Amino acid sequence: MPYGGNDWLALTQEETIEPEIPICDPHHHFWDFRTTRIPYQRYLLHELIADIDCGHNVRSTVFIEARAMYRADGPVEMLPVGEVDEVMTAWRSGMAELAKCPNVLLKLGGIGMPRFGFDWHTRDRPVGSEELARDMAPLLSFCIAQFGPDRCMLESNFPVDKVSFSHHVLYNAFKRFSTGYSPAERAALLHNTAVRAYRISDL
């Protein structure tokens, strides 16, 4: 069975942790790449709704363009800007330097992509939230220590990260990871920073 498929993700089931906590998922994509058979390469609105309708209190989301379903023509200045992933030493140094800019906010996610080397996508059964929270903690904690919770937002990066875990398990993991922070800091990480950054009114 190909990784990222809903049948495979359904093999790991969990109760929703703290279902009352408001969540804004500030990073997901929509696309339809019909030339591939990998399940997560087709992700449209109804698929996002199915993923987030799992017990968590997701009040809003933010769609991020990702070189998919663009118009065939238009002004050159509207072409997408690429992203750049670094080795860890350079990444940590760069993040610490970037954190000195008070106008920069940080999204925390994307760790489910195979390039990170966790290999969750190769398992017979998807990772659970306890292990996921433990594995993500060093990266997330470093970033939050540099920027502070009021400048960080936890994101799903779906469907890209769906290759490794479900939306439900991911937000359980985010909640487990964030228990060491104060209630105000958790609210910032899971909801408030994102709605402030994107000027969303969802309450």
pLDDT of residue 88: 81
pLDDT band at 43 (very low <50, low <70, confident <90, very high): confident
Crossing angle for the helix pair 167-177 and 45-52, to the nearest 10 degrees? 50
pLDDT of residue 203: 65
CA pair distance 186, 193, nearest whole angstrom: 10
CA pair distance 147, 190, nearest whole angstrom: 15
DSSP-assigned beta bridge partners for residue 57: 22
pLDDT of residue 69: 62
> Read out DSSP for the chain?
--TT-HHHHTTS--PPSSTTSEEEEEEE--EE-TT---GGGEE-HHHHHHHH-SSSEEEEEEE---S-S--S---GGGSPPP-----HHHHHHHHHHHTT-TT--EEE--TTSGGGS--GGGSSSPPPHHHHHHHHHHHHHHHHHHH-GGGEEE---BTGGGGTS-HHHHHHHHHHHGGGS-HHHHHIIIIIHHHHHTT----
pLDDT of residue 82: 40
pLDDT band at 142 (very low <50, low <70, confident <90, very high): very high
pLDDT at 40 over 60: no
pLDDT of residue 21: 96
CB atoms within 10 A of CB 127: 22
